[in-house]
């Protein structure tokens, strides 16, 4: 009995947390259960009632029905797509592919130029090899981040399965980046609520914090301070990354979380342009909000909020 109850609870949790629009119907097309995403996307759903007939038509929701049997009862899982979803996805996919191709061409072109230069008489072969290694590392980093973002978007990486105490992870990430920050002239400070928890797996929280810190290390300039704070505000938990660097123009702020977008100063940097896009995807997938703003006197502040 306990095993059956555990399996039933696991099924309820999986249905609730999926990003898909999923309905569970009885053999008379009455609603037995619905995912959270379904309740947000579809009006007129009521447990025990017939689902709106248009949901089961070929258009516009394009339903996919799977017959299942549970405790000798015949039911159906119905997967829906929001109207316009497919066209929007194809447009996004095409744009993403074009952007990745463009971003890969730049380091590949630099690598080819370095190799051609190394073949010239009296060239500094060792120095050129070191530069070529840096270009290969740039390509590897870009590929890794593209694959990671793709993994997040296809659901193979579950972002939020448990609550994680944030303070120890902040210290772990900043300790690992301390040498790089020192070389870049960035001082790292923290202000941490030791009891605050966020709805992210530890791995995902590490990715968020590392990308926030690396954004400052790469782009903020020399002699700046980065402060990471974790605090409670009523029922919310806030993570803030605030630096005293060169800042970002008002025109650039709304676009910082776009894939491959770089503010003017960052365009000459060796960053991939995906770090903050990954931050936003992880945070929003876990039900949080993220926002960038300028700081008085210069600098950039990125604020993440998880509501209780």
* Domain boundary pick from 15, 50, 80: 80
pTM for the predicted model, two decimal places: 0.54
Name the token pair of 87: 């066209």
Give yes or no for a contact between 190 and 171, defined as CB atoms under 8 angstroms apart: yes
pLDDT at position 166 is: 94
Q: What is the CATH number of the domain that holds 193?
A: 3.30.565.10
pLDDT at position 297 is: 65
Q: Are residues 144 and 201 in the same domain?
A: no
Q: What angle do CA 166, 167, 168 make, to 5 degrees?
A: 100
pLDDT at position 258 is: 75
Q: Which sign, positive or negative, has the C-alpha torsion 112, 117, 119, 123? A: negative
pLDDT at position 31 is: 92
* Domain boundary pick from 80, 99, 125: 80
Rounded alpha-carbon distances, angstroms, from residue 95 to 3, 85, 108: 47, 15, 20
Cis amide prior to 169 (ω within 30 degrees): no
* 224-233 and 186-192 beta bridge pairing: parallel
- Total domains, the chain: 3
Q: What is the CATH number of the domain that holds 103?
A: 1.10.287.130
* 164-165 and 197-198 beta bridge pairing: antiparallel
Per-residue pLDDT tens, the chain, 308 aa: give them. 455 566 666 667 777 777 788 899 998 999 988 988 888 888 888 899 999 888 888 878 888 888 877 667 888 889 887 765 555 455 445 555 555 565 667 678 888 888 888 888 888 888 888 888 887 877 777 677 666 666 666 554 555 557 889 999 999 999 999 998 999 899 999 999 999 999 888 888 888 999 899 888 887 778 899 999 999 998 899 999 999 987 777 777 777 777 655 554 444 444 546 778 888 888 888 888 999 888 666 789 999 999 87
pLDDT at position 267 is: 40
Q: Could you list the residue range(s) of the whole structural domain that residue 125 is in?
A: 85-153
Q: Are residues 28 and 109 in the same domain?
A: no
């Amino acid at each position: 009995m306990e095993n059956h109850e555990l399996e039933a609870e696991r099924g309820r949790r999986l249905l609730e947390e999926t990003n898909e629009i999923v309905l569970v119907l009885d053999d008379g097309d009455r609603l037995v259960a619905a995912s959270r995403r379904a309740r947000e996307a579809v009006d007129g759903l009521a447990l025990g009632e017939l689902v709106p007939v248009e949901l089961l038509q070929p258009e516009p929701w394009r339903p996919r029905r799977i017959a299942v049997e549970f405790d000798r009862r015949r039911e159906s899982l119905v997967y829906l797509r929001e109207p316009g979803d497919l066209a929007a996805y194809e447009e996004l996919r095409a744009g993403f592919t074009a952007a990745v191709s463009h971003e890969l061409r730049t380091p590949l072109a630099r690598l080819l130029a370095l190799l051609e230069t190394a073949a010239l008489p009296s060239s500094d072969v060792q120095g050129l090899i070191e530069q070529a290694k840096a270009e290969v590392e740039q390509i590897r980093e870009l590929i890794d981040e593209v694959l990671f973002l793709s993994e997040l978007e296809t659901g193979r990486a579950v972002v939020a399965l448990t609550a994680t105490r944030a303070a120890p992870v902040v210290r772990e990430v900043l300790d690992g980046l301390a040498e790089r920050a020192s070389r870049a002239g960035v001082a790292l400070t923290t202000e941490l609520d030791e009891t605050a928890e966020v709805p992210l797996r530890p791995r995902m929280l590490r990715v968020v914090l590392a990308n926030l810190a690396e954004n400052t290390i790469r782009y903020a300039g020399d002699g700046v301070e980065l402060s990471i704070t974790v605090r409670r505000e009523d029922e919310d938990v806030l993570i803030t990354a605030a630096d005293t660097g060169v800042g970002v123009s008002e025109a650039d702020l709304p676009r910082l979380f776009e894939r491959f977008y770089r503010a003017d100063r960052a365009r000459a940097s060796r960053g991939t342009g995906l770090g903050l896009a990954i931050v936003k995807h992880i945070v929003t997938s876990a039900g949080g909000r993220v926002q960038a703003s300028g700081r008085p006197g210069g600098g950039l502040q990125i604020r993440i909020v998880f509501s209780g």
